[in-house]
Amino acid sequence: MPLSARASPAAQRIIREAFDDLQRTIADQDSADFAVMTLDKVIKAAHEIEDQLAAQQQLRNMRRLTPLFNGLQYYSKSIEVACNGTPYMPWIWAPIKIILKIASDYVDAFDKIIGAYARIAEPLARFKIFHETYPKSMELQQTFAIFYSDILKFHKEAYKFVRRSSKWSVPKPVYYD
């Protein structure tokens, strides 16, 4: 019987530190449902936000998020061993929901966030190849953990950006013809 994959202690430390940092930043009421948040729920929320924006005649190109969601699916398989038995995994995608929700009231902020998330998606697709080629590599786990840390750092900055925007920005009015 094959042994289950072991997690790299260095990778676990990197992930834990990134998680703790983001957890300190996001308000408790905003992160209340993160533990049970799935990628599918985030995708559904993004579609709901898109529908709300369409109803307000402020439709944005949300298709730019599709590669991000696909990439996160691949990436989550790569980082799974290091996140096993921890609350860390959902924090890869859960902040996207609250960030999009807050930013959707501020068109300029929303466009910047969507563009930035689209850029993050580019390298994520490569994780499918890494995971399939080196499924149990402890050396790659550290690389995966660094990428996890980078994703959470971006979520932290994006969250602070939209929270700051919501304090001093006035939502653009919707005019009906």
For residue range 98-141, what is the model confidence (pLDDT) as tens digits?
999 999 888 888 888 999 999 998 888 888 787 778 767 777 88
Task: For the chain, give every domain's residue range.
Answer: 9-21+34-166
57: Cβ–Cβ under 8 A, 6 or more apart, which residues?
174, 176
Q: How confident is the model at residue 176 (pLDDT cuts 50, 70, 90)?
A: very low
Q: Residue count of the chain, please give it.
A: 177
| Mean local confidence (pLDDT), 40-69 | 90
Integer Cα distance of 9 and 154 in angstroms: 23
* CA gap 171, 139 in Å, rounded: 47
Instruction: State the pLDDT at residue 134.
Output: 74
How many Å is the Cα radius of gyration of the chain? 17
Task: pLDDT band for 26, please (50, 70, 90 cuts).
Answer: very high
Query: What's the CA gap between 164 and 159, in Å, rounded?
Result: 8
| pLDDT at residue 122 in the model | 85
Taking only the tens place, the pLDDT of each residue in 64-95 is 899 999 999 989 988 888 888 899 999 999 99
pTM tops 0.95, yes or no: no
> With b meaning 16 or more CB within 10 Å and e meaning fewer, what string describes 148-158?
bbebbebbbeb
